[in-house]
A and B are shown apart, each in its own frame.
Chain A
Amino acid sequence: GIQVEQSPPDLILQEGANSTLRCNFSDSVNNLQWFHQNPWGQLINLFYIPSGTKQNGRLSATTVATERYSLLYISSSQTTDSGVYFCAAPGGDNYGQNFVFGPGTRLSVLP
């Protein structure tokens, strides 16, 4: 099945700094999602982005499906951005029916 990797595993930022999180996947995908998991465990949808670029406030994401990677940009980071960021791509025995998650990037934003 598909392999999903994320880098860096951990990231510590000062409030106001910018960051880029990367997601690599081993096979072509027809959809991809980015999530933020808050300290209470809730997975919050950030982007559904099989290809192209999307922006939502201080966050933006780009997926280059042909090169098998996606990037999540966080600008002017805030302490509330802290948490774990996951990307997920379709995989498994029945292509496209469930998600394979990467190991996550743990982001800590310091005041």
Chain B
Amino acid sequence: NAGVMQNPRHLVRRRGQEARLRCSPMKGHSHVYWYRQLPEEGLKFMVYLQKENIIDESGMPKERFSAEFPKEGPSILRIQQVVRGDSAAYFCASSPGTGSYNEQFFGPGTRLTVL
């Protein structure tokens, strides 16, 4: 059973370009979470999605960032007009969404570097 998959693993963008980060949850998981980890810091929650729905986007910056989890295909975190401060590791996690406790399984992350 494949784990959470993220691609690309490394992404380099110049200031002003767009970054698209993809996340395929574990098989059978319908809940996806995105977190950002700045150098030497812990993970910060960004957004929580279920298929075709954004459940909680309280951690998303108000501008330039968007996320989706379509009925078919991976979840996408999109960053428009990237700036140097967007350089970070972006982790996706998935959970089954049922039961009394939902462990979040993390992917390997996408490391975004903005030049």
| A and B: interacting chains | no
Give B residues with C-beta under 8 Å from A.
none
